Structure 1
Amino acid sequence: MAIGWRDDLLTGIREIDDQHKELFRRFGDLLTACREEKAAKEVLRLFMFLDEYVISHFNAEERLMLSCGYREYLEHKRQHQQFVRQLEELKRKYRDEGAGLSLVITTNQVMIEWLTRHIEKMDKDIVPFLRK
């Protein structure tokens, strides 16, 4: 799967769309840093950013869901928690194995594909509730 933002992932909610684009950009940066065997300092910097940004983004989405009484809030929040656990596992993999091909594959398969599916299926479902 190619890394990169696709306009078909737009939700129509600017705040959320901008955050999604930033997540894709930063995961792409992480993949590039791993493929090019950049210094550990750069990879760790990207992980630190992603840690904070993912939590901030999920909190923003969850506030929006609560504000409109979104019926699937708890399931959506559960999926966010799952993603955070997967990010923690990715960092563990980096600490244990370094920034090799395995980390690139895992980042692409687990994080980017999950994020894409989540936006397509879960995040877009929120939009009609927010427009009421």
Structure 2
Amino acid sequence: MAINWDDSLLTGVDDIDDQHRELFRRFNNLLAACNQGQGREEVLRTLTFLDDYIRSHFHEEELMQQRSNFPDYPAHRAQHDNFIATTEALADQFRSEGASLGLLVKTNTTLMEWLVGHIRKMDRAFARHLNAGRTAG
């Protein structure tokens, strides 16, 4: 049930690509912890770290967008805000229900679809904007 990284997810912006790889690694650690029946505390610790990392990554990405006058910044930020709300809801569900098979499938599907889709569409569009500005300047 792992979320696999491949080169179709590269944006061409090293800092962003490195952070995306780390997000994939952390999501997979979370899924593995749930799958292996690791203790509730370990899963909660991973969820907390993941939430912090997502917020930090989104903040850095949004600062880059603002500095480069990215025209789609408001829509991009709205997607980030929606994803944070989604991950918070999944974490709340885990806290109340535990790591059920249904929750694992829902988490994997949600994270994979959103993250892969967001990177391929929104983040790559931002990278094109950023790289165009670098070559024009």
Which residue number in structure 2 is paired with residue 112 of structure 1?
A: 112
In 2, Cα distance between equivalents of 1:5 and 1:128: 20
Deviations 1:27-82 (CA, angstroms, capped at 9, x unpaired) = 11111111111101110111111111000000011011111111100000000000
Decide which moves more: 33-42 or 2-11: 2-11
Structure 1 residue 2: Cα displacement: 4.7
In 2, Cα distance between equivalents of 1:98 and 1:45: 14
Structure 1 residue 7: Cα displacement: 1.4
**Map 1:85-100 → 2, pairs under 5 A:** 85-100=85-100
Backbone CA RMSD of aligned residues: 1.1
* Residue type of the alignment partner of 2:34: C
- 1:32 equivalent in alignment to 2:32: yes
TM-score by length of structure 1 reads: 0.96
TM-score by length of structure 2 reads: 0.92
Which residue number in structure 2 is paired with residue 50 of structure 1?
A: 50
In 1, Cα distance between equivalents of 2:6 and 2:42: 26
In 1, Cα distance between equivalents of 2:97 and 2:57: 28
Q: Secondary structure at the match of 1:81?
A: helix
Larger Cα-atom Rg: 2
* Residue type of the alignment partner of 1:72: D
* Gaps in structure 1 of 5+ consecutive residues: none
Q: How many residues align?
A: 132
Structure 1 residue 111: Cα displacement: 1.4
* Gaps in structure 2 of 5+ consecutive residues: none
